[in-house]
């Protein structure tokens, strides 16, 4: 069954989630952040994901923007920066305009030139995704942005992956699902999607029921996979 539809996770896959802290740390007067920004960025991301999973299990869904702010507040406090309201405001503003990884536009264009449908499936709320796509200038390369907001639960709930078939009328085997999150790639593989894990950090594979069919170090070689 040929792949017709390429679905991408957004944060960490297309968009660099560390960019907000990295950019802010380079600004004048941000010496305290400059000393700890890699750890803050990592904590921010880990808590963002953890809070989404815990809310899913507890049945306490909320807008992903709320989760993102809660995670940042934890990360700021952990680094002794909780009292810097201006820094918090700046980091949140930068998160709304995260940079795409350098290879993303050319990769999407190559897939589009092959006649493939490309879209996002993300925990992000519609407003967050619209801001990120616009800031990265990749809107014309994406057919749509599917958000968990429409089902009220975060990944990896199976009902989230159902959104792809509902939107595009395709079977799971016709979908290439791409994520930088090992757990997301595993869940999508278990769902029945063909999956590619973008393992940018060289991490061990997650011990979960599903296994990604393809493992990449970045997105550059995605259009060259022998599945199209």
Last residue of a domain, one of 75, 95, 115: 95
Residues 11 and 28 in one domain: no
- pLDDT for 227 equals 87
Closest C-alpha to 129, from 172, 95, 103, 79: 95
How many structural domains compose the chain?
A: 2
Whole-prediction pTM value? 0.96
Residues 182 and 87 in one domain: no
- pLDDT for 158 equals 98
- pLDDT for 71 equals 98
Residues 195 and 129 in one domain: yes
Residues 131 and 58 in one domain: no
- The mean predicted confidence, pLDDT, of the chain is 97
- pLDDT for 27 equals 98
* Residue 182 Cα to chain centre, angstroms: 12
Domain membership of residue 182 as a residue range: 5-15+99-224
Residue from 9, 16, 43, 184 carrying the catalytic annotation: 9
CATH of the domain at 28: 1.10.150.240
Q: For the chain, which ranges sit under pLDDT 50?
A: none
Distance CA(82)–CA(72), nearest Å, equals 9
Q: How many CB atoms within 10 Å of residue 27?
A: 12
* Buried-exposed string 63-88: b where 16+ CB fall within 10 A, e elsewhere: ebeebbbebbebbbeebebeebeebb
Last residue of a domain, one of 34, 63, 95: 95
- pLDDT for 33 equals 98
In the chain, pLDDT over 70 holds for what percent of residues?
100
Closest C-alpha to 68, from 55, 82, 49: 49
- pLDDT for 226 equals 85
Return the beta strands (E) in 61-138 as ranges. 117-122
Q: Phi and psi at residue 196, in whole multiples of 5°?
A: -125, 125
pLDDT tens readout for residues 75-101:
999 999 999 999 999 999 999 999 999
**9 has catalytic annotation:** yes
- pLDDT for 1 equals 78
């Amino acid at each position: 069954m040929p792949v017709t539809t390429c679905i991408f996770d957004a944060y960490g896959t297309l968009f660099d989630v560390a960019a907000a802290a990295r950019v802010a740390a380079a600004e004048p007067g941000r010496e305290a952040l400059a000393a700890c920004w890699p750890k803050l960025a990592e904590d921010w991301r880990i808590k963002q994901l953890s809070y989404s999973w815990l809310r899913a299990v507890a049945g306490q869904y909320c807008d992903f923007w709320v989760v993102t702010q809660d995670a940042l507040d934890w990360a700021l406090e952990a680094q002794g920066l909780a009292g810097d309201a201006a820094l918090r405001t700046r980091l949140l503003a930068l998160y709304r305009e995260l940079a795409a990884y350098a290879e993303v536009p050319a990769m999407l264009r190559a897939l589009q030139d092959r006649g493939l449908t490309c879209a996002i499936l993300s925990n992000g709320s519609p407003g967050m995704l619209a801001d990120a796509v616009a800031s990265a200038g990749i809107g014309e390369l994406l057919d749509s942005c599917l958000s968990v907001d429409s089902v009220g639960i975060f990944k990896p709930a199976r009902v989230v992956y159902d959104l792809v078939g509902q939107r595009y009328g395709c079977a799971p085997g016709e979908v290439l699902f791409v994520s930088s999150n090992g757990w997301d790639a595993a869940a999508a593989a278990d769902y029945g999607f063909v999956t590619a894990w973008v393992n940018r950090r060289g991490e061990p594979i997650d011990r979960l029921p599903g296994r990604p069919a393809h493992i990449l170090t970045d997105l550059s070689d995605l259009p060259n996979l022998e599945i199209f």
